[in-house]
Structures are given as C-alpha cells and as structure tokens.
Amino acid sequence: MSSTYKAICLSHNPAIEIHGEDHDDLTWNDRETGLGALARRTGDLAAHKTCDLVLGAYSYPLWEITCPVSSGKRVEGIKDGSICCHNYDKSIQVDWLRLMIAALIEPTTATKRVLERRLIDGCWPPDRVLRLRPLLLPEEDQ
C-alpha cells in the first residue's frame, strides 16, 4: 500500500496533525524519512520539541500509527506523553485504536478485562488513545 506520512502531536488534547507553513512540507513519502524528522524535531517540528509525537500513515484516510523508538522520543524529555518504552518503531493499525476508543467510551466487563491486561498494545493507555478520538472517529464531532 502506498502511503504518505505526517506527524501527529499527542501532547495536545485532542491530538493534532502537524502541518508545515505551506501545508505540504511536513508530509513524507516514506516511513523512515518521517521517523527521522520526528527524531530531529527541527523546522516546523521545533515547536513540538518536547511533545509526544507519533507518525501517521495515510492512504487517505489515516490507516496506521507508528510510535517511534523510545530512545528518540526521550531525548528532550517528553512531557505529558506515553510511558511506553521500546527499542524499535512500533506500528498499530488504526482500527485497533478505534476499537479501544469504543471499548473505553462504552465499557463492558469483557472489554474492560482486555484493556486492563493491555493485550492489544502497551503504547496506548486510555488517556493517550482517547486523544485520537476526533482524528479516528470524526463523525462524532457533529
């Protein structure tokens, strides 16, 4: 699947897609280039120096999110972000996150048990995943 990549800031609540000055200059054509830019945080990303940033893969719409390797994220001391820790870039398909959001909003005994055991992904505690709600379930804005 051919995708383009954009930075998403999770220190903002709700999360925001980060756009460059001329709107297209912060879109990358491959994952490695995007992750490199997230690690450097220069240019338009300098304003998000200590933010909790992830990389979104779009093949319109957004279909996957990559949580960067922890060492890169921790360089400047991330404020208000995830406590996950991993030594590789970890990706999750957004349908899993949509299911998690649905389970958090209307929990059942069964879904609560799964979320407590964090069987899906340690990167996504409730506070972090709920920040993505407007990006992942935009129809709920109305």
Smallest distance from the beta carbon of 102 to Zn ion, in angstroms?
21
Q: How far apart are CA 78 and CA 54, in angstroms?
A: 12
Smallest distance from the beta carbon of 15 to Zn ion, in angstroms?
9
Report the residue number, 60 or 88, with the smaller CB distance to Zn ion.
Answer: 88
Q: How far apart are CA 44 and CA 11, in angstroms?
A: 16
Report the residue number, 128 or 133, with the smaller CB distance to Zn ion.
Answer: 128
> How many chain residues bind Zn ion (CB under 5 A)?
7
Smallest distance from the beta carbon of 120 to Zn ion, in angstroms?
12
Q: Determine the 3-state secondary structure of 15 from DSSP.
A: coil
Using the rule CB under 5 A, is 11 a contact of Zn ion? yes
Smallest distance from the beta carbon of 55 to Zn ion, in angstroms?
11
Report the residue number, 7 or 108, with the smaller CB distance to Zn ion.
Answer: 7
Cβ neighbours, 10 Å, residue 129: 25
The stretch among 8-16, 21-29, 94-102, 104-112 that binds Zn ion (CB under 5 A) is 8-16
Q: How far apart are CA 68 and CA 78, in angstroms?
A: 12
Report yes or no: 22 and 140 within 8 Å, Cβ to Cβ: no
Binders of Zn ion among residues 21 to 80 (CB under 5 A) are 48, 51, 67
Smallest distance from the beta carbon of 71 to Zn ion, in angstroms?
12
| CB crowding 3-41: b at 16 or more within 10 Å, else e | bebbbbbbbeeebbebeeeeeeebebeebeebbebbeeb
User: Under the rule (CB under 5 A), what is the footprint of Zn ion?
Assistant: 9, 11, 48, 51, 67, 84, 123
